[in-house]
Amino acid sequence: MKLKRTHNCGELRIAAKDTTVVLNGWVENYRDHGGLAFIDLYDRWGLTQIVFDPQVAPEAHAVAHKLRSQFVIAVEGEVRARPDGMANMSLDTGEVEIYVKSFELLNKSNTPPFDIQHSEDVNAETRLVHRYLDLRGKRLQNNMIFRSKVTGMIRNYFLDQDFVDIETPILTKSTPEGARDYLVPSRVNPGTFYALPQSPQLFKQSLMIAGFDRYFQIARCFRDEDLRADRQPEFTQVDLEMAFVDRDDIMGMLEGLFKGLMKDLFEKDLKLPLPRITYDDAMLRYGCDAPDLRFGLEITDCSDVFADSGFGVFKNAIGAGGMVRAINLKGAAAKLTRKDLDEMTPFVKTYRAKGVAWIKMNADGPQSPIVKFFSEEESKALFEKTGAETGDVLIFVADSEKVVCQSLAALRDLMGKKLGLIDESELNFSWVVDFPLFEKDDNGNPTSVHHPFTAPRPEDEALLDTDVFAVKTNAYDIVLNGNEIGGGSVRIHDNKMQQKIFTLLGISDDEAKEKFGFLLDALQFGAPPHAGLALGLDRVMMLFLGTDSIRDVIAFPKTQKATCMMTSAPGVVAGSQLEELGIELAIIKDDEE
């Protein structure tokens, strides 16, 4: 190329008028008036209007009409102030335009398969096949640039705090529990496999034992599980670990990070310390361990009111070991129609609840299909307990604890939106603490709530021998607008305790040795007390950018079936490659039969 740019497409202002500049970029749009022709030239910095005037440069003008969307050009021309009344104040460069003297066509472009600057409504297949074009659009460009800015700030923060950035292996070892692993066959060791890391957990603990007090990494992680709007098979964690610290040190470190980000990115002052709520409290009041605290609508347990109720549905649920809980939708009576209320039942069936009961507190008395079953004392106790007043709506779910919590948590979020209680511009951070160490799996056996390296609270250690499900941990999740964006814990740094936890999890000594032997060994060589946390960077980006899809914050995301539409990954491989790896496929493709 002969014409190398002197400026980018977003930086020229009126002060540059009468100078000669060279711009490089893509043609976004052309408006050919036969005489004058205008071109919108853009790059990632912005957009500048180019003018082809036959009186200024007849040769350039003569070929300008051949330019098309996405052609790549270089123009040399004079910066001029736009004529009076012709400035475009919606553009940073809108007070100027470039009168072309000469230009160079650097490359042509096929007609793009969709409008690059307005791709929101285009079907996902087309956009993902041509991801490089979607990424050329302003929205995704801004998202990726924003992400780069944020990761830069995060790196600077931790480096300023004297953390060491250390890379850990991508080819590592499969571990039991947790998500399904992505496996990579070893050519040199036929029949064996590496696993891609679900997180650098064991490496960062090893780094603590190695003395790299204050480690961090922006690390790629891999989990072979089904995808969601906020879940990709490969995703990014901001991973950190510190030695000689306790829970509050980690939490304080994170609070400092977010305070800085909020200030630098949004010019908001984050009030510290962030609110803390215990896991038990969160489950009771919000039905989930990552409550959205932007609005109220707390859950009230009404089981004691209905333990002996004349309403069989409630009584039986309680009798079966379940519970009845309610949400008082304050002042919602006028906003919710009968249809809204009836639609809650199919909504909660997703969570295996049988239905939603409701009471509309009308001025002329409670309106409800169920209130006739209540005794006067029950009604009185209920209204008192839930604070129900005229104009409110009470909604109930009666079932097992899990179903009640899940259903009411989902209803709470739904109603928060529907009733307009959520300020979408708010970024509401909080901590959830004191998680249990174990929960019951399908067979009633203990399984880690966090991961098997989380330490029990010292004061709860005795419970490990008597009531494992009562043991709490110094684990902590950070929650943003009802989304868990990160979590961590104080780790086990004692070999005996680690072995004990493995035993409680039903991991045999042999298996523990095979899978985690190195960790058990390392814990015997002066492992310091340590704790850490991992942030889900993609989710943080989604929330900061206010987007509903994780695909909007990842340059080359995968589809729900975990394929890449641009590269067509995953793909079949040559038989010779399999042979080399000692692998034989049990699945034969149809067209090969």
Of 342-371, binders to RNA (CB under 7 A) are 350-352
Find the binder of RNA among 6, 559, 566, 583 (CB under 7 A): 559
Footprint on residues 82-101 left by RNA (CB under 7 A): 82-83, 86-88, 90-91, 94, 97
DSSP state string for 171-237: SB---SSSSPPPEEE-SSSTT-EEE--S-SHHHHHHHHHTT--SEEEEEEEE--S--BTTB-SEEEE
State how far the Cα of 498 lies from the Cα of 134, in Å rounded to an integer: 48
Answer positive or negative: Cα dihedral of 520, 525, 526, 528.
negative
The minimum distance between CB 552 and RNA, in angstroms, equals: 10
Report how many residues bind RNA under the rule CB under 7 A: 73
- Give start and end residues of each alpha helix (H) in 471-554: 495-504, 509-522, 537-545
Select the span of 11-19, 118-126, 261-269, 381-389 touching RNA (CB under 7 A).
118-126
The vertex-74 CA angle with 73 and 79, nearest 5°, equals: 125
Can you read off the two tokens belonging to residue 46? 């912005």
**Applying CB under 7 A, does 551 fall inside the site for RNA?**
yes
Query: Residue 352 or 496: which CB sits closer to RNA?
Result: 352
Using the rule CB under 7 A, which residue among 51, 209, 333, 464 binds RNA?
Answer: 51
Regarding beta strands 530-536 and 164-165, do their DSSP bridges make them parallel or antiparallel, or are they unpaired?
unpaired
Give pairs for 114-119: CB < 8 Å, separation 24+: 116/28, 116/69, 116/70, 117/28
Closer residue to RNA, CB minimum distance, 388 or 437: 437
CB nearer to RNA: give 18 or 377.
Answer: 18
- 443 lies in the binding site for RNA (CB under 7 A): no
CA distance linking residue 246 with residue 434, whole number of Å:
13
Stretch 226-245 residues interacting with RNA (CB under 7 A) = 226-231
Cβ at position 99, least distance to RNA in Å: 8
Stretch that binds RNA, among 143-151, 376-384, 449-457, 581-589 (CB under 7 A): 449-457
Residues 274-313 that bind RNA (CB under 7 A): none
Question: Is there binding between residue 444 and RNA (CB under 7 A)?
Answer: no
Among 15, 18, 121, 458, indicate the residue that binds RNA (CB under 7 A). 121
Taking CB under 7 A as the criterion, which residues in 19-48 touch RNA? 29, 31-36, 38, 40
What residues between 202 and 231 interact with RNA by CB under 7 A? Answer: 223, 225-231
Chain centroid to CA 247: how far?
Answer: 24
Of 375 and 560, the one with the shorter C-beta distance to RNA is: 560
379-438: contacts with RNA (CB under 7 A): 406
CA distance 141 to 175: 38
By DSSP bridging, strand 215-222 and strand 164-165 are parallel
249 to 278, contacts with RNA by CB under 7 A? none
Give the x-and-dash track for 321-340 against RNA (CB under 7 A): --------------------
Question: What x-and-dash track marks residues 63-82 binding RNA by CB under 7 A?
Answer: --x--xx------------x
Minimum CB distance to RNA, residue 177 (Å): 4
d(CA 318, CA 396): 13
- CA dihedral defined by 315, 319, 320, 321, rounded to 10 degrees? 110
Nearby residues of 586 by Cβ (< 8 Å), 6 or more positions away: none
Site residues for RNA, 464-523, by CB under 7 A, read: none
